[in-house]
Structure 1
């Protein structure tokens, strides 16, 4: 099966899982699926009257995302790199990461010692690496598995 077909299949399975999850939880939302950079992006949005905000906290969305990834893996045998956004959670997470990078750079400038961040997902690490680089600093990932984290240094 071509890579494009595999992504489409993963997107359909994940979307079905998320729609079923929303139905069971009695939450209202409209799904949009995009395919870019070898990933499936699913966005769940709603109108202002919706109760979708009950699960739009970035940590909750990350948990639902992992469940959707497991649903895809159970049906395809393949790992999914699905990215889920519920009610703007992705932007909220990006804003939190931006604040983390700003605080880390302030600490680095005050202390001159490298700064170790808490472990995070590969997608979040990628965003942080990009933000650190844009700010003119250097970062690298260290550790394995769930302990993988970023270290930020002066250039």
Structure 2
């Protein structure tokens, strides 16, 4: 299987492209701003393990080398999985920011995405575990299949921008639909770039969601 170097990432649930804004925040909700954009410190996606001596220095060079290694391990793991499932797909590897990015590209991969990306999320966790077992370092690798996360990122970027502009104009908070850590991070990043508003996460998994609030 080929492994061209293309950036990829992202995902989609029907929830955010339709009625993602559920209700205004009640008066008794604590609206104190949290530090952005990392608003989910307890999620696996928010945890970065230091690179140990076997992976290189803690500087950028050692980190980049570790992320490349993560991608290679993930690619090998996913290639074996595709062979077992007798599914055709190409694997693209990249490094995006502070995480490795792996994408499976092909025409008949919907079963590997699942309803609202549920199978994709499970495969991502299995791939991270395989990488961690090989490297000894917790992985924040991002897996995409058939561009599902890429479309989700685009949908969420539009959704978050519209919600933030409404909140800035009305002064009224808005609570978005429940999202996974990756999706919340996309929304937090978008809101952080819009003047007059900020965002925080509220609730417990799997019902944790982003609340967009006006600056006071």
User: Shorter-normalised TM-score: what interval?
Assistant: 0.7 to 0.9
Of residues 23, 28, 41, the one that matches 2:83 is 23
| Equivalent residue, structure 2, for 1:8 | 68
Q: Which has the higher helix share?
A: 1
Count of matched residue pairs: 151
Task: After TM superposition, give the deviation of residue 40 of structure 1 in Å.
Answer: 0.5
Judged with a 3 Å threshold, the aligned counterparts in structure 2 of structure 1 residues 12 and 23 are, in CA distance, closer, same or farther, namely: same
Structure 2, unaligned stretches of length 5 or more? 1-54, 57-62
Conserved? CA contact 2:192–2:199, under 8 Å: no
Q: Larger RCO: Structure 1 or Structure 2 (Cα < 8 Å, ≥ 6 residues apart)?
A: 2
Q: Deviations over 1:62-119 (max 9, x none)?
A: 2211111111122222111111111111222113424543674587479754223325
Structure 2 residue 169 is matched with structure 1 residue 131:
no
Structure 1, unaligned stretches of length 5 or more? none
TM-score when normalising by structure 2: 0.57
TM-score when normalising by structure 1: 0.76
SS at match of 1:51: coil
